[in-house]
Structure 1
Amino acid sequence: MEAPIIPTRSIARAYDYIVVGAGSGGCAVARRLVDNSDASVLLLEAGPACIGIAEIDDPARWVPLGRGTYDWGYDYAPTGRINDRTIGIPRGKVLGGSSSINAMMWYRGHPMDYDAWAASGAEGWSFNEVLPYFKRCEDWEAGETALRGAGGPLRIERSRAPHPVADAMLGGCAELGIPVIDDPNGPSNEGAALANLNICGNERWSSARGYIWPILDNERLTILTDALALDLGIEHGRCTSVRFTHGGQYHDVRATTGIVLALGAINTPKLLTLSGIGDPLDLARLGIDIKAALPGVGKNLQDHPLVQACVFRATRPLGAVRDNGGGTVINWKSSQSLPQADLHAFPVQGNSAEARIRELYDLSGDVFSIGCGLMRSKSRGYMRVLSSAPDGAIEIQPNYLAEQSDLDALVVAVETMMELAATQSYADWFGGYAAPPRRLSRAEIIDYVRNACSTFFHVVGTCAMGNDDAAVVDSRLRVRGIEGLVIADASVMPTIPTCHTHAPVTMIGERAADFLLGAA
């Protein structure tokens, strides 16, 4: 597809809707508002448009994007549990948000994830209730089924020719007794499978590409990139406007019907706090007048911990990178007593070790890696605004490994990866252990996990949905105590699902549009 151009339109004094943030949720809600109503929509994105940029479009080149030009540059604060390391937390600052810089993985997790949301107070968010919205997102290569969608904005394909170290994962899992399944978004997600990828042919298929490119010429849609939201205007308990910078100027634009925040689980609670919506103690500390007292803003932060990585010597050069550098995945249980898979792993066609691991071990020569992590993590942290300035500092703390059960499960993950690489299926490629350099004792694995712990960059939960005192939004995504303001991003998730978060955030954006238009 030829790269389009975003039309230049003058900034009106008011729009029916303002959507702040053009990531997975924001693109979805903006598209559906334009498609299914006669409303005018202003879509604000803090980053550049970057349409037709080779390093974004090429699936094999995604890794450096995470700490590059199109990233917000955020870090997780260090703790002793991760041996006092600072962990980078990539977040897309570009049209399409993190869907434009991520690994292009498409998973919705397990039905129990969403049934747990409903049970916790998010009424109407059980799996059977959200499944139609997942299907609406999808253009699945194998066509529509009871569980998959076709003809939706987001193309989803599997590798046509997986790399041998990815293909070996399937055979190796079978040797270990882990089932090989056709589709991890099918009837069961437990097992090894070819990855579902937001790739069409050999190009990234981001939310911007799928949702926004087809409606760029619609005169009711105005897109402003490099537009940084500063705060929200609140009048008599209603959110009425957004103040932002664009083109070196300040703008204050009104919304006559509603404002949608889709800045993600870091920037949405930050913007709320700067606008006087948040924990009264935080607002008092910052000297910000209280517009709505919501103690849950910035709390309940969750992310999947990733052991990055187990690295193995290769018997020969791996050749050109295929797909997104992976190609297959495993979902399995750390204990057979669990009701659903809690561990996840994927191959990497090269060295993907954390900086500390690279310092500690000799990883020279030809190597391949397997990243493994925990998808049912229990540890929770927070996001705290440290300054009332729009570009002021924030503290982001996931509290990785705070729960002993998280650490115990990651020990099992590393042990399994060491066994997997030594299976017969990897015999043609496995040339020995590099990091860890040998099979380790439990105590040694724990230390390895603390040094290798990184992030899947699946940060969620900081404006959680529910019906208790800690909830920030209700089950229709409306911010409590403020009219005309909804949230459509990962911050509303009460608990983190067992998957990459791009799919559920897109689903949330689809539902938000239906709520706004009275279609649900």
Structure 2
Amino acid sequence: MSTLSARPLEKAYDYIVVGAGSGGLPVVRRLIERTDATVLLIEAGETGFGVPEIEDPAAWVPLGRSRFDWGYDYTPSPLVNGRTIGIPRGKVLGGSSAINALMWYRGNPADYDAWDAAGCDGWGWSSVLPYFKRAEDWEGGETTFRGAGGPLRLTTSRNLHPVASAMLEGAGDVGIRAIADPNGETNEGAAPSNFNIAEGRRFSSADGYLKPILSNPRLTVLTGSHVLTLLLDGTTCTGIRHLVDGQPVETRATTQVILSAGAINTPRILMLSGIGDPAELAPLGIPVRHALPGVGKNLQDHPLVQAIVCKAKQPLGEPRDNGGGTMLNWKSRPDLVQADVHAFPVQGNSAEPRVRELYDTSGEVFSMGVGLMHSKSVGHLRMLSSDPFGPLDIQPNYLAERQDLEALVSAVGTIMDLAETKAFSDLFAGFAAPERRLSKAETVEFIRNACGTFFHTSGTAKMGRDALSVVDPRLKVHGLDGLTISDASVIPIIPTCNTHAPVTMIGERAADFLTGQD
């Protein structure tokens, strides 16, 4: 346990924020800026400041399964041929924004109108756009759709890698038009990626939101402290029980506890505290303090086919940016209302382990990852014991819905077509995985073997007003006082994008609700 400012841990604070990721840090920043409150920020991981592999945008992949990752896995399923799929989740200041692929992407305006229609009043596109803009310091300056002067630096590549350039140039030949900005009026098309990169370094939520306020005397940042349970007095959350130097300590919140531990740890903390589905808590011997059957339900993530691997005609050189550089968004079927599939370049081999076993992906290769952003399959998270460090059943049910599989079959074909366009003529020397065009049945099998994760776990404490909702549209936990949730777990329907930007927006909104600005 350590506090960044060497301030001692007090017995009580006005606000306690659990988790220093994309959803929690905007809350901390705005509470310090707008109020005279004392704030305790608790993070289970390290500070991560000055770590070369965190700062280097091209070095992010090995951060999964490093000491900065929680080390969670999705439960094997026959739908993905029994494979274990790891889910990197940041265990460090900045949360997953400190170990992810550095992508800033909001999805489609229709995504948020769907939230509003699902009972999340006031969360339609026109309502959330100002919060996206508030977070941004966009290299192009403020526009109708973009923000400037916000905490997070956002840039595009200064020098696109040849593979990224080829994807951008060849997209038109497979029916995907070029657009200037995937965070503009529409996300459908091919465009340079928006990165959390500044002066060649990762610019995480900790860089943007936390570092400028670290010296404030009303803020205490406690790292290396694992939260065990919430403290409840009847129907009021009054604080937390957490480990400090390995020993359990109780710290009180006089105004509010904000759970921002992410879509895996937030429902786990709720369930450990007796908040959840009685039918799941009882077999674990956890007394029910507050029945909320939706805790751990509604788990959603985007399935990613890793990857279409191509042989390269020539050496590709050193990786640039995050190892990617561009993004493509298009419709797997022409009758769809919005783009549902997504692809990106990889300046090397990004094949899943099973694909590497089945195909020869050695030598000079490049890859194109392709995935489903408008996925319909829904899973769950369950605790398998009452041990705070015990095993979890985390099941996204990838490919459970037939329409998800059909969309990916179409998308794989489009990307194989793209590899054979003129734009790739100086790069493409044939397919490595799969090594040839496949029948539909063969493509389905390839997808089951290649399916991985975009790391967008969400939805496990969803916002809304139905029986499985956990928080209301102001992010307060139903039936409890003193407890707000601000992270990806509150997402009711997964948006068609990487989740760092929407979770940051959620954090900005949570701050407004807490400080009376909304």
Q: Which runs of 5+ in 2 are unaligned?
A: none
CA distances 1:149-203 after superposition (whole Å, capped 9, x unpaired): 0000000000010101100111110122210010000011100000000000200
SS in 1 for 2:167: helix
Residue 380 of structure 1 corresponds to 378
Matched to 1:310, the amino acid is I
Residue pairs, 1:137-156, within 5 angstroms:
137-156=135-154
Residue 490 of structure 2, aligned match among 480, 492, 517: 492
CA distances 1:266-320 after superposition (whole Å, capped 9, x unpaired): 0000000000100011111111111110000000000000000000000111110
**Is it true that 1:424 corresponds to 2:407 in the alignment?**
no
Residue pairs, 1:461-480, within 5 angstroms:
461-480=459-478
Residue pairs, 1:184-263, within 5 angstroms:
184-263=182-261
Residue 84 of structure 1 corresponds to 82
CA distance in 1, matches of 2:6, 2:98: 22
Runs of 4+ in structure 1 deviating by more than 4 angstroms, as ranges, are: none
SS in 2 for 1:149: coil
TM-score normalised to structure 2 length = 0.99
CA distances 1:480-514 after superposition (whole Å, capped 9, x unpaired): 11100010000001000000000000000000011
Residue 344 of structure 1 corresponds to 342
Residue 116 of structure 1 corresponds to 114
Residue 316 of structure 1 corresponds to 314
- C-alpha displacement at 1:364, in angstroms? 1.0
SS in 1 for 2:24: helix
Residue 95 of structure 2 corresponds to 97
Residue 301 of structure 2 corresponds to 303
Residue 452 of structure 1 corresponds to 450
CA distance in 1, matches of 2:449, 2:122: 41
CA distance in 2, matches of 1:288, 1:67: 30
Residue 13 of structure 2, aligned match among 4, 12, 15: 15
Residue 356 of structure 2 corresponds to 358
SS in 2 for 1:339: coil
- C-alpha displacement at 1:390, in angstroms? 1.1
Residue 166 of structure 2 corresponds to 168
Matched to 1:60, the amino acid is A
CA distance in 2, matches of 1:22, 1:30: 9
- C-alpha displacement at 1:8, in angstroms? 1.2
Identity of aligned residues (%): 63
CA distance in 2, matches of 1:347, 1:420: 11
Matched to 1:122, the amino acid is C
Residue 479 of structure 2 corresponds to 481
CA distance in 2, matches of 1:240, 1:473: 18
Residue 438 of structure 2, aligned match among 430, 436, 440: 440
- C-alpha displacement at 1:43, in angstroms? 0.2
CA distance in 2, matches of 1:282, 1:84: 25
CA distance in 1, matches of 2:186, 2:443: 30
Residue 158 of structure 1 corresponds to 156
CA distance in 1, matches of 2:411, 2:4: 45
- C-alpha displacement at 1:247, in angstroms? 2.1
CA distance in 2, matches of 1:165, 1:50: 31
SS in 1 for 2:328: strand
CA distances 1:343-366 after superposition (whole Å, capped 9, x unpaired): 000000000000000000011110
**Is it true that 1:413 corresponds to 2:411 in the alignment?**
yes
SS in 2 for 1:395: strand
Residue 41 of structure 1 corresponds to 39
CA distance in 1, matches of 2:51, 2:22: 19
SS in 2 for 1:24: coil
- C-alpha displacement at 1:392, in angstroms? 1.2
CA distance in 1, matches of 2:489, 2:266: 7
- Deviation larger for 66-75 or 53-62: 66-75
- C-alpha displacement at 1:77, in angstroms? 0.6
SS in 1 for 2:265: helix
CA distances 1:47-74 after superposition (whole Å, capped 9, x unpaired): 0001000000000100010121111000
CA distance in 1, matches of 2:293, 2:342: 33
SS in 2 for 1:44: strand
User: How many residues are aligned here?
Assistant: 516
CA distances 1:387-423 after superposition (whole Å, capped 9, x unpaired): 1111111110000000000000000111011000100
CA distances 1:421-451 after superposition (whole Å, capped 9, x unpaired): 1000000000110000011111110000000
SS in 2 for 1:448: helix
- C-alpha displacement at 1:250, in angstroms? 2.1
Residue 70 of structure 1, aligned match among 65, 68, 71: 68
CA distances 1:445-470 after superposition (whole Å, capped 9, x unpaired): 00000000000010000000001111
CA distance in 1, matches of 2:440, 2:29: 50
- Deviation larger for 447-456 or 169-178: 169-178
CA distance in 2, matches of 1:459, 1:468: 21
Residue 264 of structure 2 corresponds to 266
Matched to 2:208, the amino acid is G
CA distance in 1, matches of 2:83, 2:462: 28
CA distance in 2, matches of 1:261, 1:17: 11
CA distances 1:15-67 after superposition (whole Å, capped 9, x unpaired): 00000000000111111111111110000000000100000000010001012
CA distance in 2, matches of 1:54, 1:177: 40
SS in 2 for 1:25: coil
Residue pairs, 1:278-289, within 5 angstroms:
278-289=276-287
Residue 391 of structure 1 corresponds to 389
SS in 1 for 2:473: coil
CA distance in 2, matches of 1:444, 1:249: 54
CA distances 1:200-225 after superposition (whole Å, capped 9, x unpaired): 02000000010000000000000001
CA distance in 2, matches of 1:66, 1:373: 19
CA distance in 2, matches of 1:359, 1:265: 31
Residue 123 of structure 2, aligned match among 111, 125, 138: 125
